[in-house]
Amino acid sequence: MNSMSSTLHPHSPVRIFAVSGIISVIALSLVYIYMGWEAAAVALMLVVIELTFSFDNAIINARILMTMSPFWQRMFMTVGIVIAVFGMRIVFPILIVMMSSGLPPDQVVQLAFDNPDKYAEVLHRAHPSIAAFGGMFLLMLALHFFFDITREIQWIKRFELPMQAIGRKWLHAVVCAVLLGIVTFLPLNHHPQEVLIAGIIGIVTYLLIHGISELFTMQRAREEKRLGRKMLQQAGVAAFASFLYLEVLDASFSFDGVIGAFAVTKDVILIAVGLGIGALWVRSLTLFIVHRKVLNTYRYLEHAAHYVIAALALTLLLGIFFEIPEALVGLVGIGVIAVAVVHSKRDNDKDDVVLLK
């Protein structure tokens, strides 16, 4: 009886991953029935690729989601997943092709189904702009973390302590702006205008959304001080700002994945199914990290995620000039996160020994 009740508890792994599992089975079964086993295998491969590249995304999402009320956590799993699946995996590529080709929406949709090679080619031409926006946004996120002078826990101290020592409020923006200028005016860059505009939009987007979120966090802290007690999790406008931040963050992680999926298949249905299922599992993994307090147990997990994000951002920017296999970043990311888990457990055990003494 106790085993059954623990399984059905809202925070149990079975409950958290049940919906993702059921939808995955149904979607892949439908692909198999209507498109054959080869198509189902391709869709499953895209699911694995999306999950492999998104562990760091889930960790960062979880850190933000922990501050939000249960209502907004549900919004992230319902409305948010609709935006992630249909918005980023279906609508976003169509919009990019529309802007790149000048074609109306109906012709772009027709192109996607009737001439997927041409559709993928037009989408790939927009890669410099996409890489500049995503690279700058993610690099802002990573540098903001490493330059944060209030952060008490360091993992790789030889690197992180000097970063904190020189940390200033706007330093991450200055570093990103200088790097964007270098990337824009390098002779190898054949799309300087597109890269500059997209990169500036990426930096400004991060500053706006994160700034709004911090503003409401400060207001909440002042209210807590006035009341003399700890308030509940974020709600209302503050939570909405964090929700928007999460969606833009998810979009930044998704940009290159959507384009990279065309290297596996040109079938837009398989891409939507594979990446959509992967996005759903990432959302469930985020909830699991929040409800099981994984970030509290593994103290260096958040650090590892930001190292991987910095690597992904630089890979996106280098991808403007060279072809870089996305699999390399994904595999390195899993390795870094695995090392962080081992180091967290090791240092937790050391602390336990000290407490026992």
DSSP string, 164-209: HHT--TTHHHHHHHHHHHHHHH-TT-S-HHHHHHHHHHHHHHHHHH
The conformational region for residue 224 under phi > 0 = left, psi -120 to 50 = alpha, else beta, is: alpha
Quote the CA–CA distance of 188 and 357 in Å, as a whole number.
60
pLDDT at 136: 92
Three-class SS of 7-70:
HHCCCCHHHHHHHHHHHHHHHHHHHHHHHCHHHHHHHHHHHHHHHHCCHHHHHHHHHHHCCECH
b/e burial code for range 294-325 (CB count within 10 A of at least 16 → b): bbeebbbbbbbbbbbbbbbbbbbbebbeeeee
Residue 41's alpha-carbon distances to 44, 280, 302, 311, in angstroms, are 5, 18, 33, 29
Long-range contacts of residues 257-261, Cβ cutoff 8 Å, at least 24 apart? 257/49, 257/50, 257/53, 257/326, 258/88, 258/89, 258/92, 258/93, 259/123, 259/124, 259/127, 259/130, 260/49, 260/326, 261/46, 261/49
120 close to 94: Cβ distance less than 8 angstroms: no
Q: Please give the pLDDT value at position 4.
A: 47
pLDDT given at position 100: 66
Q: Pick the closest to residue 312 from 330, 297, 298, 294 (CA basis).
A: 330
Give me the amino acid identity at 99: M
Taken as a whole, the chain contains a residue count of 357
**What tokens were used for 167?**
């940390």
Q: Where are the domains of the chain?
A: 20-356
Q: What are phi and psi of 68, to 5 degrees?
A: -100, 155
Closest CA to 333 of 315, 352, 357: 315
Whether 144 contacts 174, CB under 8 Å? no
Question: What's the average pLDDT block by block, 10 residues per block, for the chain (357 residues)?
Answer: 51 78 92 90 85 78 81 81 77 75 79 81 81 89 90 90 88 94 92 92 87 68 56 62 78 70 76 86 86 84 89 88 72 86 86 54
